[in-house]
Amino acid sequence: MEVIEVRQANDEFAEMVAQFRVELRSYKGVVSKPNLEAGREEMEDYLSARFPVFAALVDGEYAGYLVCRIDGGVVWVESLFVKTDFRRQGVATALHRKAEEISASLGGDTVYNYVHPNNHHMIEFLRKRGYTVLNLIEIRKPHKDETLTRQITVGEHAFDY
C-alpha cells in the first residue's frame, strides 16, 4: 500500500468522494446514488482551499482517501473513506496516521475527527486508536417531517436523534 498526496482532481478520486457522500446519507436513512460531478466539485473545493488531501493506493488502485483541514495549528479530519473491498486491511489506519503526522509536525498531539453518530465502524476504529474524548456536540431543530427514533444522553442532557 502506498499513501500519496493528491494535488489534482481526477475521476477515480471523485468517484470515491461521491461514494462517501452516499454512505454518509445512508446514516440518516437516505438512499441515494453517487454523483460523480458533485464528487469532483467537492474534491476541487478541497484542493483550491489547500486542504491536505491523500489517497491510499493498493496495487495501483485507489482504495481510500483522507482530507484534512488545518485551523490554528489544529488538524481536523474532514473526510476519511475506504472503499468497501479494501476495508479491514489497514487502509484507514495508514491514512489516519498521515493526519497524525501532520498534527505532530505542527506540534500537536491529537487529531480532531468529524464523525456521524451512526457511523459505528468509524467510532470503533477511532476508539481502538485511542480517540475517546467527545469534543463537540452539534445541535439543530428537527427538519420538517423528520422522524427521530432515539435519544442520546450527554451529561445531564437528553437529545433527540
Interatomic CA distance for residues 20 and 5, integer angstroms: 19
Q: State the pLDDT confidence band at 1, using cuts at 50, 70 and 90.
A: very high
**Mind listing the pLDDT tens digit for each residue in 65-122?**
999 999 999 999 999 999 999 999 999 999 999 999 999 999 999 999 988 888 889 9
pLDDT at 148: 82
pLDDT in tens, 146-157: 788 888 888 888
Chain centre distance of CA 38: 16
**Is beta strand 61-71 parallel, antiparallel or unpaired with respect to 2-5?**
unpaired
